[in-house]
Amino acid sequence: MKNINWLLSVPIAHRGYHSLNIPENSIAAFNEAIKDGFNIELDIRKTKDDVLIVFHDNNLFRLTSFDKSVEDCSYSEIQKLVLNGSSERIPVFTDVLDYVNGQVGLLIEIKEHSNVGRVEELISQNLDTYKGNFAVQSFDPKIVRWFCKNRSSYIRGQLFCGLTGVKLSFLKQFLLQFLIVNLISGPDFISYNYIYLNCWIKFVSVIFRIPIIAWTVRDADTVRKVRQTAQNVIFEGFQYNNENFE
């Protein structure tokens, strides 16, 4: 039986507890989350020489001013870069695992990519020996399915966003809107954009006993509203005081 309570009972800091002076997905942001006892959400990408780094965007430009995609860079190129003009650098996944070392839980998002299996195997090689709490999640049901088949003991989540403004085939819209994609990916929880939470999502959650984590909430009032549907939230951009939501 999987222990998922840690994931549902402790708020999750989006890309670490970052701020104007502390870059997202940095060791400093993770340190702030640890100090306040928050779980950490982070993003994984692979360089062209198979190094796993913790970084959200496909392109490095927004955070480093270096205009190149992660997958086209070697790690030797990336390790020279600093985040938002700070002293923080893009961390390697193994260094983050060593730093967090089970002090708080980790919610690891695997960004969509081609040739599903290689990145997932590299991630698993590191997580198989990790002693702390962790869960993996992705928008791509094939990635979540890979973990279902190859690392069934891992807690895994299916990420969802709203369909407004998204051009998809009727079949894909149907599978996503009615969460039928869950039959493919076999998630232990749903990670859903809070803006699009509705009665149907709550109904599916109750019927199939799949908890909901809402992302990404940016103010305290929204946390209160979202908690009526979701079991937990991923948050950023404000000082989260859990006592205010009891």
Question: Active-site residue numbers?
Answer: 14, 56
Conformational region of residue 64, where left means phi above 0, alpha means psi within -120 to 50, and beta covers everything else: alpha
Contacts with 132 (C-beta within 8 Å, 6 or more apart), sequence order = 97, 100, 101, 102, 103, 104, 105, 106
Secondary element (H or E) of residue 182: helix 182-185
Residue 166, judged by CB atoms within 10 A of its CB (0-12, 13-18, 19+), counts as exposed
Strands 189-193 and 134-138 come out as unpaired
Cα separation, 41 vs 201, in Å, equals 22
What would the two tokens of residue 234 be? 């991923």
User: Which residues on neighbouring strands pair with residue 235, listed in sequence order?
Assistant: 13, 217
Three-state secondary structure call for residue 237:
coil
Q: In angstroms, rounded to a whole number, what is the distance separating the alpha carbons of residues 32 and 37? A: 9
